[in-house]
Structure 1
């Protein structure tokens, strides 16, 4: 197991994040639509892979969801014989083997797993490169990592309105919405972690709400509230919230008056290196010259 670097910047307060998740665990089902939707899309991608995975681990923050979705989404996912769920907020009743762990210090033995899944947890990790290296190390050769995390375009409307409202009301702005990786960054991090055949792609979900307050309530219900280490300890004032809500309604409302909220989902796929994997051809080994080919075009 690779231990995360203690020198990595602590952008997120992991203890606060754990408290938020534990606080909403009992009512999470009323706010889990984003996790369920992206979990289904994650498993749809897994269903397209014909390879079997005898031992899988789900390191998502809300344990058991992917396991239950796996049975609902597609019977072809029977290629997983055993799934271990890992979480820091407890577990629903039933299901397979469970363990409690910290996403930044995974407890798996090197080369012990065939598949690792992660649904909406990695955007809260302080040392994302280190976490990806731990995941790769835990996989057997030709093992698969498949994950989804929120990307940098997520909640762009809320960021704009909160910042402008706080500047207008207080003369300054505090960090309110987490920084998130971009699509190009995600692809680079997979390569940096030495995954083979790394792929990162993005999908955008647009969700509508009655107003900005409804959006904020939903984020709290998901356990996705502000857990930045540098967050202000005082909540937003009523004046800032009211101005932000007005700005949101003026700029991002549809014709029916409902506001839009953007969630960018970045899907990442990588394989543990193996000699049996398809390898790129050696540079200069081609039989046809590109210059000759272009010279023959009509």
Structure 2
């Protein structure tokens, strides 16, 4: 299936792990580490996590899972580029919600010494992509990381955190397992993801059934992401937004690919089935409102990229308020004097 991908970017500034063992020697989570400063668990239950695990396991068992990896591989490579931009090596790194290992395959052992990869889907871990970095696969939930405090030099996450029920807690867990001066580099789907599909389904369902149900999962707003990172304890934050547009032959091919990616909706309030007439109407609306001249239809994936550091005394800090020795007015006079000097030459 031929797909054409376009991308736009917007910037907005803003020792050895201990792993609990399960039955039969398979490593799995028994309890989560306490987030720094967190004493109350915020009980949110938006997504059916067991269903999401089944969806990801089903996708990983497909005869040709690489057929549907194009988006996750692209985002994984962009995260790797950001890691290469950081002028240091990372002896021990963690990938939270790794899937089939879409980040590790783009890194080398000169940059990352050892990689721990965690995911809720055991089949994704079993079918992980090859890499020259020594890796350890751990069956674990993003909200309950089974590692000690101050363990990893680098934590990464690609297109996984949008399915977490309690994102603030997950970010606190990531901050907890990072070493001081460690860095978190992640990416997750943003609020405008698949807006074409969402609008088409809502219009068709309203017209055919007199109302609509949510068929696209809710996403975090970019304005909230920087605040959540700061509240989790990260500093020197950077958040930027990518828009990746992929063209499909039609709406049904898009939905097939979403299922193959393991990205089907798992919200508790989802509607299990859509009437055939509603689906046909939605496909027609999609093509009419958003279709390209060649007959294909676009799908927009908005990607939030984030970078945050764990505090360390060696990090540069802003000067204290009121410590300046020159006012802005004097700086303006200095610029005028320099301009006059250049003219006199």
- Cα distance in structure 2, aligned partners of 1:6 and 1:158: 34
CA contact (8 A) 2:42 2:166 kept: no
SS at match of 2:206: helix
Name 1:175's counterpart in structure 2: 214
Gaps of 5+ in 2: 1-32, 337-345
Structure 1 stretches of at least 4 aligned residues deviating more than 3 Å after TM superposition: 3-7, 291-298
What is the TM-score normalised by the length of structure 1? 0.93
Change (3 A) 1:241 1:6: farther
Say whether 1:254 aligns with 2:289: no
Name 2:121's counterpart in structure 1: 89
Written as runs of structure 1 = structure 2, the 5 A alignment for 1:206-217 is 206-217=245-256
Highest Rg: 1 or 2? 2
- Cα distance in structure 1, aligned partners of 2:98 and 2:214: 23
What is the TM-score normalised by the length of structure 2? 0.81
Gaps of 5+ in 1: 72-76
Say whether 1:274 aligns with 2:312: yes
- Cα distance in structure 2, aligned partners of 1:140 and 1:41: 24
> How well do the aligned residues superpose, as a CA RMSD in angstroms?
1.7
- Cα distance in structure 2, aligned partners of 1:291 and 1:153: 43
| 1:184-228 Cα deviation digits (max 9, x unpaired) | 211111111110211111111010000001100010100000100
How far off is 1:60 after superposition?
2.4
| 1:153-201 Cα deviation digits (max 9, x unpaired) | 1001111111111111111111110111122211111111110211111
How far off is 1:97 after superposition?
1.3
How far off is 1:6 after superposition?
4.8
SS at match of 1:78: coil
Name 2:34's counterpart in structure 1: 2
Say whether 1:283 aligns with 2:283: no
| 1:24-68 Cα deviation digits (max 9, x unpaired) | 112232101110000000000100111111100111241433222
Name 1:74's counterpart in structure 2: none
| 1:201-257 Cα deviation digits (max 9, x unpaired) | 111101000000110001010000010011123x11111111110000001111111
How far off is 1:297 after superposition?
6.4
- Cα distance in structure 2, aligned partners of 1:287 and 1:134: 41
How far off is 1:69 after superposition?
2.4
- Cα distance in structure 1, aligned partners of 2:237 and 2:154: 15
CA contact (8 A) 1:211 1:249 kept: yes
CA contact (8 A) 2:97 2:120 kept: no
Say whether 1:16 aligns with 2:51: yes
